[in-house]
Amino acid sequence: MFKKFRHPIKKTDIRIYYEDDTELGYIKTYIIPLNKVLKAYARQLSANEQMAADASQDGGEYEFTIMKREIKRDMFVEFNNGFGTQTLQIGAIDMLEFYNSEITFRASAVTPRDEYIEVRWT
């Protein structure tokens, strides 16, 4: 028997990373191996959803659904929105009733750092 998922097929490629602040500068650490991506269901929030969330309405609010992973609000998402790679910061995280195998989270557009002293892949 196949497990029924809540969302459509995950066809968007994303990368999630966090930043470590060291004395020498910032280290960018991806939560996936080198040359790999996470598959996600992605959608841009509607104007009504952005108003309800009291978010800025510049089109920079997205919702992603991924297979269960350890993610936190201070992490970042890189994905290609059709116009180039965009960086977003993870906001609200919904564990989908704690027993499901998917996580849904919202993320909003941010300006990424220009330089890192090191990039790591886990």
pLDDT per residue over 33-81, tens digit each?
999 999 999 998 876 655 555 555 455 899 999 988 899 999 999 998 7
pLDDT reading at 121 higher than 60: yes
Which residues 6+ apart lie within 8 Å of 110 measured at CB?
76, 87, 88, 89
8 A C-beta contact, residue 87 and residue 111: yes
- Give the pLDDT score at 52: 54
Which residues 6+ apart lie within 8 Å of 82 measured at CB?
none
Q: Has domain 12-121 been given CATH number 2.40.10.270?
A: yes
- Give the pLDDT score at 54: 56
Q: What residue spans define the domains of the chain?
A: 12-121
pLDDT reading at 5 higher than 80: no
pTM, to two decimals: 0.83
* E strands, the chain, in order: 12-21, 26-30, 38-44, 61-67, 76-80, 85-94, 102-109, 118-121
Strand partners for 29: 18, 120
Quick: pLDDT tens for 76-119.
999 987 788 999 999 989 876 556 788 899 999 999 999 999 99
For residues 49 and 28, the model is more confident at 28
